[in-house]
Amino acid sequence: MNILDYETVALLDDKDAIQIIDQTLLPGTTKLIELRTAKEIWDAIYILQVRGAPAIGVTAGFGIYLLMKHSKAKDYDAFMAELAEHKAYLDSSRPTAVNLSWALNRMEQHVREYTADGAKFELKAVIEEMRAESERIKAEDIDVCRRIGENGLTLVKKGDGILTHCNAGQLATCKYGTATAPIYLGQERGYNFRVFADETRPLLQGARLTAFELQSAGVDVTLICDNMSASVMQKGWVNAVFVGCDRVAANGDTANKIGTSVVATVAARYGVPFYVCAPTSTIDINTATGSDINIEQRKPQEVTSMWYKEPMAPEGVKVYNPAFDVTDHELIAGIVTEDGILRPPYTESIKKLFEKK
């Protein structure tokens, strides 16, 4: 079985569990694990056993459903208070990917609407509605990624070189990925892309996940270290950059895996168009600019020792380890969504998109 044959996130309703691939073990070991308690779900998101903005959102949707499934709440207010508590806890697992709070808010909002703010509260029916809504979030993710793929494919041509950073692939979503969606659709249609995957220090999502899934799909993929993007662009090997993202601010600034803004800067230097692939659920119109985005800081050990037999830095050295950086909207040629490609000026194109929705 190929890694792409596994579901990134699945609801095992009869077992009261969420099943995920433990992504910390890839590519060496493909192990499916089951999450049941709030702490197990929180930990799996925090340690990146499940990661990538859309996959985190789907996990949170299933998670809040399972945590409420056996609720003994006697009335609407008690139910909503319990839901709010679980929601706040799950939401605290990672701060940058907006899909986490987006999915949790959507689940809560669905309960409000379904019960007409408590006027028609019936515990069993509400729980069944939560299950259905969480499955809808997952089904929509697959459809949205495919549409991002179709839109992204219009930006490239057969034989092109594409560079990507981190993993915005199938493993970060439920199918196709976002940044990889045009690559997978192109693969089905004989585009023969040559893909460069940045290894993505410090957690190596590019090497461990993107190179793995693209190679498994038979895509021509070449792994490069993060400091090699200028070298391949200088040689003219890259026609476009596709990256995913964790949050798009209202002015088009985008937060994505640390190092993305370096790639965007290098791409601008060499005249390579830099595209951000994002479901509209990743656009946060309540965040005005990139500097308002909360950037997750992670442990020093991820940089100094995690992947090595012995520490590769002097003991006690100061380490700065932000998990994401913000790419200035001026460096972005287009934001590829399921509803079309947004172009600058982003403040206007994003506003227009949300007015239509």
List, by residue number, the catalytic residues: 246
* Nearest approach, Cβ of residue 230 and ligand MRU (Å): 20
* Nearest approach, Cβ of residue 255 and ligand MRU (Å): 8
Distance (Å, whole) CA 225 – CA 227: 5
User: 130 vs 255, which CB is nearer to ligand MRU?
Assistant: 255
Cα–Cα distances (Å) from 265 to 206, 245, 271, in that order, read 19, 16, 10
Cβ atoms within 10 Å, residue 348: 12
User: 110 vs 329, which CB is nearer to ligand MRU?
Assistant: 329
Which residues make up the interface to ligand MRU (CB under 6 A)? 48, 51-54, 97, 166, 168, 172-173, 177-178, 205, 244-246, 256-257, 323
Q: Which residue is nearest to ligand MRU (CB)?
A: 244
Which run of H or E residues covers position 344?
A: none
User: 129 vs 141, which CB is nearer to ligand MRU?
Assistant: 141
What amino acid is encoded at 10 in this protein? A
* Nearest approach, Cβ of residue 249 and ligand MRU (Å): 15
Six token digits for residue 296? 């997750």
What amino acid is encoded at 327 in this protein? T
Distance (Å, whole) CA 131 – CA 135: 6
Q: How many residues does the chain have?
A: 357
Distance (Å, whole) CA 310 – CA 141: 40
User: 52 vs 95, which CB is nearer to ligand MRU?
Assistant: 52
Contact 107, 65 (CB under 8 A): yes
Contact 58, 103 (CB under 8 A): yes
* Nearest approach, Cβ of residue 85 and ligand MRU (Å): 25
User: 80 vs 100, which CB is nearer to ligand MRU?
Assistant: 100
User: 110 vs 247, which CB is nearer to ligand MRU?
Assistant: 247
* Nearest approach, Cβ of residue 82 and ligand MRU (Å): 28
Give the pairing of strands 240-243 and 161-164: parallel
* Nearest approach, Cβ of residue 172 and ligand MRU (Å): 4
Q: Please, which residues bridge with residue 100 across strands?
A: none
Distance (Å, whole) CA 35 – CA 17: 5
Distance (Å, whole) CA 276 – CA 332: 7
